Amino acid sequence: MTTTENILPEEFEQYLSCYKAQVRSKYTVQGMRRVLSSFNTYLQKFNIHLCKISIEQIDHFLAHYNKNYATGTSRTYRSHLRKFLAYLYQEGDIKKDLAPLVVSPPEFARSKPPKFLRPKEVQQLFNSLVLSDVKDLRTYAVMHLVYYLGLRPKEISLITLNDISFRQKEIFIQSRKNHSPAHLPLPNNTIRAITAYIVGGRPESKSRVLFLQLIPPYKPATKTDISRDTRELMHDNNLAASIYWLRHSYAQNLLESGASIFEIKEMMGHKSIESTKKYLSVHINLMREVILDETL
């Protein structure tokens, strides 16, 4: 039974009651209470209101709380706090969903920063294409879809003519890795690139798939076809890169334009925010701004 000295604020006790109903092990519940008790002490010490807690303050607390614990134990305690933060967000006690940002250092370290192209390199690639060439017209349209919409090669290979609305200036992506179809806006230059391919480069075919192979019988282009053409273009321009560098550049551009990590997750079609957070380590200043200061 909880003693008077151990009673925590209402939000904490309500969560612990829910947690206790879900977890059979009393030792796990006791571990959760210890973490939350120390967290409450930290909030009181620094006069921090729970509803205004920031990821920077959470990270500061965990750094001190876990400094004498082994890696496995530290990971467990981070998990305890992560679950509590998720509960607070669901209950409306905090306005930011901070739980996904509470990641153990070893886990974050395993996420290699994605590689991307700089604006001059991207412009070099676009300028090197000969738009009177059928293959280059297809590659030109593909590059627009990757660089300006962040699409994957497989997503591009599945686009049909029916998925494009030139009047509404949008494209419907039916199959995404996160199993969430999306209507994405089409920039004017991307519309022009697609139109140039359809008019000047796409073979006549009964198939409604947008991108077709270059030789008869003109079957739908595969994701391998699409990736290979872009890789060859990059090689010709002395860039040791792949089509995914363009996709990563799209994410980098979103970051620099001020998009939140959650908006980027949706635009990129990621299953998990863990995949999206890798982009934060591309630029240390952006990482600090998005994680520590940005209103999510």
**pLDDT confidence bin for 290, thresholds 50/70/90:** very low
Cβ density class 242-265: b for 16+ within 10 Å, e for less: bbbbbbbbbbbbbbeeebbbeebb
Residue 179 has pLDDT above 50, yes or no: yes
Does one domain contain both 98 and 144?
no
Share of the chain above pLDDT 90, in %: 56
Instruction: Tell me which amino acid residue 48 is.
Output: I
Which of 69-78, 132-141, 162-171 is predicted with the least confidence, judged by mean pLDDT? 69-78
What is the arithmetic mean of pLDDT over 261-285? 72
Does one domain contain both 138 and 237?
yes
Q: Between the ranges 3-12, 25-34, 191-200, where is the mean pLDDT highest?
A: 191-200
Which of 124-133, 179-188, 273-282 is predicted with the least confidence, judged by mean pLDDT? 273-282
20, part of any domain: yes
**pLDDT confidence bin for 67, thresholds 50/70/90:** confident
Residue 61 has pLDDT above 80, yes or no: yes
Does one domain contain both 35 and 17?
yes
Residue with tokens 């509803």, as numbered in its chain: 51
Pairing of strands 170-173, 182-185: antiparallel
CA 153 to CA 278: how far, in whole Å? 20
User: Which CATH number is 163's domain given?
Assistant: 1.10.443.10
Which of 8-22, 64-78, 117-131 is predicted with the least confidence, judged by mean pLDDT? 64-78
Instruction: Tell me which amino acid residue 141 is.
Output: A
Q: Which pLDDT score, from 0 to 100, does residue 255 have?
A: 78
In terms of Cβ atoms closer than 10 Å to its own Cβ (0-12, 13-18, 19+), residue 109 is exposed
295, part of any domain: no
Residue 287 has pLDDT above 60, yes or no: no
Does one domain contain both 61 and 25?
yes
3-state SS assignment for residue 104? coil
Does one domain contain both 102 and 162?
no
For the chain, what is the mean pLDDT? Answer: 86
Q: Which pLDDT score, from 0 to 100, does residue 283 have?
A: 52
pLDDT tens digits, one per residue of 200-254: 999 999 999 999 999 999 999 999 999 999 999 999 999 989 999 999 888 888 8
The residue out of 50, 76, 109 marking a domain boundary is 109
Please state the length of the chain: 296
What is the arithmetic mean of pLDDT over 248-269? 82
Closest CA to 195 of 167, 223, 174, 231: 167
The pTM for the full model equals: 0.58
248 sits in which H/E element: helix 243-256
Q: Which pLDDT score, from 0 to 100, does residue 275 have?
A: 75
Residue with tokens 């992506």, as numbered in its chain: 173
Residue range(s) defining the domain that contains residue 17: 4-109
**pLDDT confidence bin for 197, thresholds 50/70/90:** very high
Does one domain contain both 238 and 144?
yes
The residue out of 58, 78, 109 marking a domain boundary is 109
Does one domain contain both 141 and 244?
yes
Closest CA to 270 of 279, 259, 283: 279
67, part of any domain: yes
Beta-carbon contacts of residue 118 (< 8 Å; ≥ 6 apart): none
Number of domains in the chain: 2
Extract the tokens encoding 221.
């282009």
Q: What order of strands is seen across the sheet that includes strand 164-165?
A: 164-165, 170-173, 182-185
The residue out of 55, 82, 109 marking a domain boundary is 109
User: Which CATH number is 79's domain given?
Assistant: 1.10.150.130
User: How remote is the C-alpha of 93 from its chain's centroid?
Assistant: 25
- Kindly report whether the peptide bond that precedes residue 220 is cis, defined as omega within 30 degrees of 0: no
**pLDDT confidence bin for 2, thresholds 50/70/90:** very low
Does one domain contain both 126 and 226?
yes
258, part of any domain: no
145, part of any domain: yes
pLDDT tens digits, one per residue of 13-28: 999 999 988 887 888 8
The backbone torsions φ and ψ at residue 7, rounded to the nearest 5 degrees and listed phi first, read -70, 130
